[in-house]
Amino acid sequence: MADIDDRKTVLIHSAAGGVGIASMQLAQYAGADVFSTVGSPDKREFIKSTFGLDDDHIFNSGNTSFGDQIMAATADRGVDIILNSLTGDMLDESFRILADGGMMVETDHLISRSLNCSRDAMSSPLTQFTSSPFTDVPNAVGFLRPGKHIGKVVISNRPNTKISVPVLRALKHLHFRDDATYLIVGGLRGLCGAVAIYLAKSGTKQLAVISRSGHTDKKSRSIVKQIKALGSNIDVLTADVTSKGEVQRAFNQTAYPRDGIIQGAMVLRMQGTWNLHEAAEKLNLELEFFTMLSSISGVIGQHEQANYAAANLFLDSFAAHRHQRGQAACSIDLGVIEDDGFIATQMRASRRSTLTAGHSRASTTGSFGRFSTFPSCSSRAIFRTRRRPLRKW
Ligand SMILES: NC(=O)c1ccc[n+]([C@@H]2O[C@H](COP(=O)([O-])OP(=O)(O)OC[C@H]3O[C@@H](n4cnc5c(N)ncnc54)[C@H](OP(=O)(O)O)[C@@H]3O)[C@@H](O)[C@H]2O)c1
């Protein structure tokens, strides 16, 4: 452990924390000349009474004053070993007072090495801790936050205590049939491109995609290539989903029965969604999923976007309507997608920040594709990546 012995000077930052206390014991066991920093008068008293250090070996960890004081205490030589837990200016100052050939040890490295040390080194077990039950983790974290605690905070329960922890259900793993066609409405240039790749990776064999302007652009061609490389086939169709006739024509063009639909076209979404529903009804399709890429703006509203918010709310309500008829439907209220799609690629930065203020953000690499094949959610699923991936109600 940093070749510590009785000829070395050691500085232990934040010495009254759990790691700090254990390190103080180890350093004193090795006979080193130990300096320490602490963050409050209480902690100073604790170090004095527990380890017998004098005031001229205990400094303040809250600013860089410890640097000059340690240089004075070591006759400008500095210390041989620093156990660091500080950052920023305090870290810079720590490097400054490291003696020639000295060693800076980050606490996590020390912990893994010290586990191999002799138990003899620990003069006593760590007795400075505050215990909280599993049912009170938020308070335990709140107790840590001000940095005023001494020792460790331990989460533990007495034996035989019954603990119930709320958990999110694991996502369903869908199996796609080889003889089924899954239809994506909304081209391959935006988010639907990521969905198409997700479906291909998940084992779909036959996809069909619809957009008005076709799929000859560079991005769409690249996605088609990736889908084929994944062993799936994809029919690229040109149709306007807001035209009933074009939707029906597109349905008839695909080779196999259509088993799942993802509606991601942004323009005139109410009309387009209704046309898709009607075309499926006409063919008596029993869809495994009918997923609409909706937006959180239908829930929280958006500056200058009343029409868009209303359309999203329609999609959420339409999902409920299909449920009432015993049909699969899911309206996914996406937050702002940062790395793909309309907002990321088409919108000016200033407009983007006005529109997206207060929205939760996500990325396509955050695998929202997984949610696009939910057979059903009770009415709307809100997709966020920050804390909880998906909330249903
Ligand atoms: N991007 C985000 O951050 C975000 C956030 C929340 C919700 N959403 C929703 O997610 C969906 C996809 O968004 P995106 O960002 O990928 O949009 P996008 O980049 O504009 O892609 C949508 C695609 O749909 C096609 N399309 C539009 N109208 C159509 C129509 N009438 N018929 C057939 N195809 C049509 C467009 O191709 P053509 O022009 O060639 O037809 C376009 O490539 C949208 O419904 C959007 O409201 C997106």
Q: Which two tokens stand for residue 221?
A: 């061609």
Query: Which atom belonging to ligand 1 lies closest to the Cα atom of 334?
Result: 6
Contact 187 CB / ligand 1 (< 6 Å): yes
Reported as a pLDDT band with limits 50, 70 and 90, residue 386 is very low
Query: What is the average pLDDT across 348-358?
Result: 66
Q: Are 336 and 343 in contact (CB under 8 A)?
A: yes
Q: How far apart are the first and last CA of the chain?
A: 54
Checking if the pLDDT of 65 tops 90, the result is yes
Q: Which candidate, 278, 232, 275, 272, places its Cα nearest to that of 255?
A: 232
Q: Which two tokens stand for residue 44?
A: 């100073």
DSSP, res 158: -
- Of residues 241 and 341, the one with the higher pLDDT is 241
Beta bridge partners of 103: 81
Question: Among 60-74, 194-208, 342-356, which stretch is predicted with the lowest mean pLDDT?
Answer: 342-356
Contact 275 CB / ligand 1 (< 6 Å): no
Query: Which atom belonging to ligand 1 lies closest to the Cα atom of 292?
Result: 45
Run of H or E including 31:
none
Render pLDDT for 96-154 as a digit per residue (tens, 0 to 9): 999 988 898 887 555 545 545 545 555 566 667 788 887 788 888 888 878 778 877 88
Q: Which fold has domain 9-127?
A: Rossmann fold (3.40.50)
Render pLDDT for 211-233 as a digit per residue (tens, 0 to 9): 999 999 999 999 999 999 999 99
Contact 298 CB / ligand 1 (< 6 Å): no
Atom 33, ligand 1: which residue's CA is nearest? Answer: 211
Give the pLDDT of residue 372.
55
Can you tell me the distance from the alpha carbon of 134 to that of 154, in angstroms, rounded to the nearest whole number? 10
Give the pLDDT of residue 108.
57
Widest distance between CA atoms in the chain: 91
Give the pLDDT of residue 393.
31
Q: Which two tokens stand for residue 68?
A: 């000059």
Q: Which candidate, 330, 335, 340, places its Cα nearest to that of 171?
A: 330
Query: Which atom belonging to ligand 1 lies closest to the Cα atom of 268?
Result: 31
Render pLDDT for 270-314 as a digit per residue (tens, 0 to 9): 999 999 999 999 999 989 889 999 888 888 877 778 999 999 999
Q: Are 366 and 387 in contact (CB under 8 A)?
A: no
CA dihedral (200, 203, 205, 209) positive or negative = negative
Contact 44 CB / ligand 1 (< 6 Å): no
Q: Are 132 and 153 in contact (CB under 8 A)?
A: yes
- Mean model confidence pLDDT for the chain: 82
Checking if the pLDDT of 337 tops 60, the result is yes
Give the pLDDT of residue 357.
60
Instruction: Report the share of the chain in percent with pLDDT over 90.
Output: 44
DSSP, res 57: G
Q: Which two tokens stand for residue 55?
A: 């005031």
Render pLDDT for 170-182 as a digit per residue (tens, 0 to 9): 666 667 888 899 9
Give the pLDDT of residue 369.
52
Burial (0-12, 13-18, 19+ Cβ within 10 Å), 360: middle
Can you tell me the distance from the alpha carbon of 218 to that of 288, in angstroms, rounded to the nearest whole number? 31
Checking if the pLDDT of 57 tops 60, the result is yes
Give the pLDDT of residue 89.
87
Render pLDDT for 109-120 as a digit per residue (tens, 0 to 9): 555 455 455 455
Contact 342 CB / ligand 1 (< 6 Å): yes
Residue 133 backbone dihedrals phi, psi, to 5 degrees: -75, 160
Can you tell me the distance from the alpha carbon of 191 to that of 188, in angstroms, rounded to the nearest whole number? 7
Beta bridge partners of 35: 11
* Superfamily of domain covering 181-392: NAD(P)-binding Rossmann-like Domain (3.40.50.720)
Run of H or E including 362:
strand 361-362
Residue 137 backbone dihedrals phi, psi, to 5 degrees: -60, -40
**Residue appearing with tokens 């997206």:** 356
Atom 40, ligand 1: which residue's CA is nearest? Answer: 213
Q: Which two tokens stand for residue 323?
A: 């449920």
Atom 14, ligand 1: which residue's CA is nearest? Answer: 341
Return the domain boundaries, the chain: 9-127, 181-392
Checking if the pLDDT of 7 tops 70, the result is yes
Q: Where are the alpha helices (DSSP H) in the chain?
A: 18-29, 41-51, 65-73, 88-96, 107-114, 137-144, 191-201, 218-229, 244-253, 269-282, 297-300, 306-324, 341-346, 349-356
Domains 9-127 and 181-392 share a fold: yes
Render pLDDT for 44-54 as a digit per residue (tens, 0 to 9): 999 999 999 99
Q: Are 19 and 42 in contact (CB under 8 A)?
A: no
Q: How many residues does the chain have?
A: 393
Q: Which candidate, 342, 370, 378, 357, places its Cα nearest to that of 266?
A: 342
